[in-house]
Structure 1
Amino acid sequence: MKRNFYESINKHYDNIFPLNEKQVEFVKGEFDNKLSKLIEIGCANGKLTAALSEYNIMGVDLEESFISEARKRYGHIKFEKLNMLNIQSLNEKFDGVIAFGNTLVHLTKKEIISFIKSVYEVLNQDGKLLIQILNYDYILDNEIFTLPIIDNEFITFERSYETRDEFLFHTRLTIKSSDEVIENKIVLTPIRKDILVNYLEKVGFKNINVYSSFSKKAYSYKDLPLVISCTK
């Protein structure tokens, strides 16, 4: 049986996407109070969640193999298999919701709106939503359909987009120790910055800050990262 995209790369995930300390520092800069209750959406194998364990934090992901791995690694942290659209089913309130790693664009536009509304409902007053996706304005306008290759001693990870009836994300992972090649494709929603900001404003978010890096570099049209912080 063919494994899904994330299950197939689970055991190689750290070599593809090691912990980004700039993400850690960005979150810490947004939440001064270590008693803040946070949730990471799309937590994968849990390494960012664990790096923020000085907070009251939990992680959720739809991929069961990721949640299983996170629980094995970090038994002191709560991890749950959960569709991000069902965040309200937790019946909990949070001071912060984190959705990094291009997680948001795995949803359709209607689902993105629904997710933003659900996040607004589960946030405490003055709680924050933190988002990181790619800058699809630049990608679409300039037809940037090949992303930088991730290459190290363990893996080569190639990424590209195809636009026909759907916006398809293609990946090719080569495991250097065995020459195994894992290829996948998934449908994404390339949402533009102004549309996403408009969604956030309509739901009621304020203090919407848009950056081009986790170092809070001012937004630049030509930079690939898109990072947003906003407040209920």
Structure 2
Amino acid sequence: MPENGKFETYGKVKSASDFYDELSEDYMDMIEFSSKVESESEIFKTIVSEYKITRCLDAGCGVGLHSIILSKLGVEVLGIDISASMIEKARELAQRFGVSAEFEVLDFSLIKEKYKEKFELVLCIGNTLPHLINEKDLLIALRNFYNALVPNGILIAQILNYDKIMENEERIVNVRETPERIFVRFYDFEPTIVGSPSLKVFEIRKDFLKFNVLIVDKTKNYSHKLITTRIKPIKSEDLCRKLRMVGFKEIEIFGDFLKREFKANESKNIVVFARKT
């Protein structure tokens, strides 16, 4: 704890790649990796069967959780991520689980140059898309996902429900405690003034959030570190609109991977199934 007895509101803002490079060693514990390999396998088994998936691009794969799940189900998987440390960890875990998923450090803007009409499934989950804080970069990524799919291929994208988060200004994303550590994921809202305050013609918008991960080590007298990056929240209507802009026509929105109804004021997640026709 700092001498004044208070935590910083947020730390130095890092790029997405630096943020996840620093988080990579703690990421498995933070997301309960091992238990999720088991708990989410049945969900993805259903998806693989329903959409006849043989090849998948796992975009923003992190430490490879879903790449490993899909590989265990017999799918040929390529996992890509902007964080070299995450990719290194994903390769280690794939070897540990005895699967043959491939992993590559690759920016989403470069997908088009390497992969065209190759995959039946593009998976972009784990709240990856909000890290593309420039709208042009987001559209390029979505268009490249579209181009990477074979005809009738499916994009499954998941983000947190920012309709609800922004409306209620919800700061706490998740709190997890293990025998050794405490992980707190939370937001700082960043107001942006648009217009001219001096002329009293302006509005205050909240276009960006600071995403923070506070890690407290209980074995070291509760020492802590705070890692911060910037994200751009995406609401459900905006995500669907952008998917239509890049060519997707059959778009379904749900509250989870089991295709339960999406409720803007209740659902934890936004899960979109978008087919390339």
The TM-score normalised by the length of structure 2 is 0.77
> Which of residues 20, 23, 35 in structure 2 aligns to 1:6?
20
Q: Please say if 1:114 is aligned against 2:140.
A: yes
User: How far apart are residue 104 of structure 1 and its match?
Assistant: 0.7
Moved more, 171-180 or 72-81: 171-180
> Which of residues 169, 178, 181 in structure 2 aligns to 1:143?
169
Give secondary structure in 1 for the equivalent of 2:28: helix
Q: Please say if 1:157 is aligned against 2:183.
A: yes
User: How far apart are residue 180 of structure 1 and its match?
Assistant: 4.1
Does structure 1 conserve the Cα–Cα contact (< 8 Å) formed by 2:119 and 2:153? yes
Q: Distance in 1 between matches of 2:113 and 2:226?
A: 34
Decide whether aligned partners of structure 1 residues 15 and 137 sit closer, same or farther in structure 2, where only a CA change above 3 A counts.
Answer: same
Q: Please say if 1:91 is aligned against 2:115.
A: yes
Q: Trace 1:25-104 onto structure 2 (pairs within 5 A).
A: 25-32=42-49, 36-53=54-71, 54-75=74-95, 76-92=100-116, 93-104=118-129
Q: Which amino acid aligns with 2:60?
A: G
Does structure 2 conserve the Cα–Cα contact (< 8 Å) formed by 1:34 and 1:55? no
Equivalent residue, structure 2, for 1:226 = 270
Q: Deviations over 1:4-34 (max 9, x none)?
A: 3212221221111124355443333233266
Decide whether aligned partners of structure 1 residues 212 and 11 sit closer, same or farther in structure 2, where only a CA change above 3 A counts.
Answer: same
Decide whether aligned partners of structure 1 residues 170 and 61 sit closer, same or farther in structure 2, where only a CA change above 3 A counts.
Answer: same
> Which of residues 244, 254, 257 in structure 2 aligns to 1:201?
244
Q: Which stretches in structure 1 are left out of the alignment for 5+ residues?
A: none
Q: Distance in 1 between matches of 2:186 and 2:229?
A: 11
Does structure 1 conserve the Cα–Cα contact (< 8 Å) formed by 2:176 and 2:182? yes
Moved more, 134-143 or 13-22: 13-22
Equivalent residue, structure 2, for 1:177 = 219
What is the RMSD of the two structures over their aligned residues, measured on CA atoms? 2.1
Q: For the pair shown, which has the larger CA radius of gyration, 1 or 2?
A: 2
Does structure 1 conserve the Cα–Cα contact (< 8 Å) formed by 2:79 and 2:102? yes
Q: Distance in 2 between matches of 1:147 and 1:65?
A: 23
Q: Distance in 1 between matches of 2:157 and 2:67?
A: 15
Give secondary structure in 2 for the equivalent of 1:141: helix
Does structure 2 conserve the Cα–Cα contact (< 8 Å) formed by 1:34 and 1:56? no
Aligned residues with identical type, % of pairs: 28
Q: Trace 1:116-135 onto structure 2 (pairs within 5 A).
A: 116-135=142-161
Does structure 2 conserve the Cα–Cα contact (< 8 Å) formed by 1:50 and 1:77? yes
Decide whether aligned partners of structure 1 residues 128 and 15 sit closer, same or farther in structure 2, where only a CA change above 3 A counts.
Answer: same
Moved more, 99-108 or 177-186: 177-186
Give secondary structure in 2 for the equivalent of 1:101: coil
Q: Distance in 2 between matches of 1:150 and 1:87?
A: 34
The TM-score normalised by the length of structure 1 is 0.90
Q: Deviations over 1:100-130 (max 9, x none)?
A: 1100110022211111111111110010111
Give secondary structure in 1 for the equivalent of 2:219: coil
Decide whether aligned partners of structure 1 residues 135 and 215 sit closer, same or farther in structure 2, where only a CA change above 3 A counts.
Answer: same
Give secondary structure in 1 for the equivalent of 2:169: coil
Give secondary structure in 2 for the equivalent of 1:52: helix
User: How far apart are residue 161 of structure 1 and its match?
Assistant: 1.5
Moved more, 45-54 or 23-32: 23-32
Q: Which amino acid aligns with 2:83?
A: E
Does structure 2 conserve the Cα–Cα contact (< 8 Å) formed by 1:40 and 1:97? yes
Q: Which stretches in structure 2 are left out of the alignment for 5+ residues?
A: 1-13, 193-207
Q: Distance in 1 between matches of 2:243 and 2:40?
A: 21
